[in-house]
């Protein structure tokens, strides 16, 4: 079967070639940009939801994939972002001004959770982050300022250059731009001094420390940046939904984002995107079969993880 092996290699080479990759990437972008012209609101809504999960998955990918830290409470950061924007807008602050504040609050939340816990081993870290996620949700449920169990309602829609973001198409493009920004930020950080430091620590923490890298500080950066992604996504989520409630940020939400990253392949940007797309699309495509679809979904996830523990996206060969 020498022939077929050679053929497969040639096909792979063509697919992996720089030119072909650029071609497929531009084709994908064109399709995504033109899509709202030809589809109904439902498809746009699903796509916008997908974009939203891609941003969250890319943020969590920094924590889990790049720095190798477990986080079972990622929805907490997204909650802090959404509530910050929701509350500040209630006091009359312009939406765009609430974003940097939401990011700052999320980064502070990242420091609060990361600071004391990053000395822990990963299994303990998992439990602490799980607790943190629940604490955040229960706090939101019991505070007056967050609207208690019913949450915040009637959050204003934002305007940009006099145009009010109102229709689903507006949010479609807004979230698409955010996805592109998230990809650029992820890529640039990954190929930087900090991105390498995360890899060194993930590979061998002692050796990294012997090279003069402060492990606690470097890991804390991963939490802070991951939190910032969640904050931005949360802020936009609040104005898109116009209403947020504590149950939006339950553990299942954190688990969902975590699943997207692990399913796609930790540490890989296309992987996180693919994972998010899969997670949103699957239940929608199989809507017909009702409750059965979640069963099918679960079985499929188990099968994927058994046969491709490294995730859906292929490993780059060296």
Partner 1 sequence: MPILEVKKLTLRFGGLTAVNNLSFDMDENSIVSLIGPNGAGKTSAFNCLTGFYKGSEGDILFQGQSIFRQKPHKITKLGMARTFQNLRLFKDMTVLENVMSGMHSRTSAGVLGAVLRLPSQRQEEKKIRQVSEECLDFVGILDKQDRLARNLAYGDQRRVEWARALATHPQLLLLDEPAAGLNHDEKDQLVDLIRCIQKDLGITVLLIEHDMGLVMKVSEKIVVIDYGQKIAEGTAEEVKNNPKVIEAYLGKEDEE
Find the shortest distance in angstroms from Cβ 212 to partner 1.
3
Number of residues that bind partner 1 (CB under 8 A): 27
208 interacts with partner 1 by CB under 8 A: yes
Q: Which of 131, 209, 255, 270 binds partner 1 (CB under 8 A)?
A: 209
Nearer to partner 1, 168 or 194 (CB): 194
Q: Which of 110, 151, 195, 230 binds partner 1 (CB under 8 A)?
A: 195
Q: What is the CA radius of gyration of the chain?
A: 20
Are the CB atoms for 73 and 87 separated by under 8 Å?
Answer: no
Q: Which stretch binds partner 1 (CB under 8 A): 9-17, 214-222, 269-277, 301-309?
A: 214-222
In DSSP notation, 209-234 reads HHTT--HHHHHHHHHHHHHHHHHHHH
316 interacts with partner 1 by CB under 8 A: no
Q: Which of 192, 299, 302, 303 binds partner 1 (CB under 8 A)?
A: 192
271 interacts with partner 1 by CB under 8 A: no
309 interacts with partner 1 by CB under 8 A: no
Cβ within 8 Å of residue 26, ≥6 positions away? none
Q: Which of 93, 214, 289, 299 binds partner 1 (CB under 8 A)?
A: 214
- Give the 3-state secondary structure of residue 163: strand
Block residue for tokens 């149950």: 247
State which H helix or E strand residue 96 sits in.
helix 95-117
Find the shortest distance in angstroms from Cβ 204 to partner 1.
5
231 interacts with partner 1 by CB under 8 A: no
Are the CB atoms for 312 and 260 separated by under 8 Å?
Answer: no
Nearer to partner 1, 192 or 252 (CB): 192
Is residue 156 exposed (0-12), middle (13-18) or buried (19+ Cβ within 10 Å)?
middle
Closest C-alpha among 54, 46, 47, 45 to residue 229: 54
Find the shortest distance in angstroms from Cβ 262 to partner 1.
19
**Sign of the CA dihedral 111, 116, 119, 125?**
negative
213 interacts with partner 1 by CB under 8 A: yes
Binding site for partner 1 (CB under 8 A): 185, 188-189, 191-197, 199-200, 203-204, 206-215, 221, 225, 318
């Amino acid at each position: 079967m020498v022939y077929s092996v050679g053929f497969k290699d040639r096909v792979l080479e063509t697919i992996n070639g720089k030119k072909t990759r650029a071609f497929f990437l531009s084709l994908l972008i064109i399709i995504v940009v033109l899509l709202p012209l030809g589809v109904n609101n439902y498809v746009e809504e699903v796509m916008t939801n997908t974009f939203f999960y891609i941003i969250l998955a890319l943020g969590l990918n920094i924590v889990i994939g790049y720095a190798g830290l477990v986080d079972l409470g990622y929805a907490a950061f997204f909650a802090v972002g959404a509530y910050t924007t929701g509350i500040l807008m209630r006091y009359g602050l312009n939406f765009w001004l609430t974003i940097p504040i939401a990011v700052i609050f999320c980064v502070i939340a990242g420091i609060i959770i990361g600071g004391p816990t990053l000395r822990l081993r990963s299994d303990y870290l998992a439990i602490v982050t799980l607790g943190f996620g629940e604490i955040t949700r229960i706090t939101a449920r019991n505070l007056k300022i967050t609207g208690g169990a019913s949450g915040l309602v009637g959050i204003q829609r934002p305007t940009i250059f006099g145009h009010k973001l109102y229709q689903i198409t507006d949010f479609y493009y807004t979230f698409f731009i955010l996805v592109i920004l998230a990809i650029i930020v992820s890529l640039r950080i990954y190929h930087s001094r900090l991105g390498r430091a995360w890899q060194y620590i993930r590979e061998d923490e002692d050796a990294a420390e012997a090279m003069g890298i402060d492990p606690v500080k470097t890991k804390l950066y991963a939490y802070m940046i991951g939190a910032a992604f969640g904050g931005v996504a949360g802020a936009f989520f609040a104005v898109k939904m116009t209403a947020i409630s504590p149950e939006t940020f339950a553990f299942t939400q954190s688990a969902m984002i975590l699943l997207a990253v692990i399913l796609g392949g930790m540490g890989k940007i296309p992987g996180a995107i693919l994972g998010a797309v899969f997670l949103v699309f699957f239940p929608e495509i199989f809507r017909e079969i009702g409750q059965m679809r979640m069963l099918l979904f679960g079985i499929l996830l188990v099968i994927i993880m058994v046969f491709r523990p490294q995730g859906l996206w292929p490993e780059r060969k060296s």
